[in-house]
Amino acid sequence: MFSKFLNLDKEKQQRVLNAALKEFARKGYDDASTIEIVKEAGISKGLLFHYFNTKKDLFLFLYDYSMKIIKTEYFDMINTKDKDIFVRLRQVYLLKIELIHEYPWLFQFSAVAASTDSKDVKKELESRKLEMESMGFAKMFENIDESKFKKGIDVEKAKNIIFWAIGGYTNKVIEEVKASELEEPDYDKVLEEFDAYLDILKVWAYN
C-alpha cells in the first residue's frame, strides 16, 4: 500500500513524517495544508500524492504509524513489576519524555487525531481506535498495589484523580513550551517539578 514511501531512505521518510505530523498536530485534519507539508519536507506537491494517494490516506497512515510507535515504544515498555503507582508513573513519564525527544509531534498528533471530528476521517478513525488513551490508562495502572491506598476510598476514582493531575501538569508544560516558542523544555526542571507533584499525591493518597 505505502510501499513507495516505505522504500525511501530513512532520512527522507523522517523528513516527510515529521513535516506531516507537525502540520496535522498544529492545525487538525481539515485545516492542515498539503502545501505546507511538502514545503517543510522539501519535496514537490506531486510526490506527496505519489506516496500517499490522498490527504486522507496520509493522515490514516500517520495515525497507524503513531499508534504503532506509541504501543511498541511506550505502552509495551511500561514495566509492570513496579507495583507502586508513583514509581510506575515516574517511570512512564520518563519514557514519554524520551519518546518526545525522538518524535517531537507524536503525542500532539495522536491527541489531535483522537479528538478530530472531521467527517473525512471520522469513520475510519472510529473503526480503528484501539482507545489508545484507555489502553495507556490500563497499562499504566496494571498490577498496582492497591493496599497502600487510604482505606475507605473508591480506588478507581483515586486513580482518575492521579491520572488527571498528571495530565494537567503535562498540558501545562506543553502550553508553556508553545508560549515561549521553545522547541523543547528543560527536562531536568520539568522532572523535578513532576516529582514534587508525585510527592504530594503520594502523601495524600497513601496512609
Distance between CA 164 and CA 92 in Å, rounded?
Answer: 15
Q: Find the binding residues for DNA in span 113-172 (CB under 7 A).
A: none
Provide the minimum distance between the beta carbon of 82 and a second copy in the complex, in angstroms, as a whole number: 22
- CA 81, CA 99: separation in Å to the nearest integer? 21
Residue 26 CA to residue 82 CA, distance in Å, equals 35
* Residue 44, binding choice from DNA, a second copy, none, Cβ under 5 to 8 Å by partner class: DNA
Closer of 36 and 84 to DNA (Cβ)? 36
- For residues 64-80, one letter each, b for 16 or more C-beta atoms within 10 angstroms of the residue's C-beta and e for the rest, the string is ebbbeebbeebbeebee
Among DNA, a second copy, none, what binds residue 117 when CB lies within 5 to 8 Å by partner kind? a second copy
List contacts with a second copy (CB under 8 A). Answer: 26-28, 30-31, 117-118, 150, 153-154, 157-158, 160-161, 163-165, 167-169, 172, 196-197, 200-201, 203-205
Distance CA 200, CA 188 (A): 19
**CB of 49 or CB of 69, closer to a second copy:** 49
Number of residues that bind DNA (CB under 7 A): 20
Find out whether 64 and 56 touch, Cβ atoms under 8 Å: no
Tell me if 54 contacts DNA by CB under 7 A.
yes
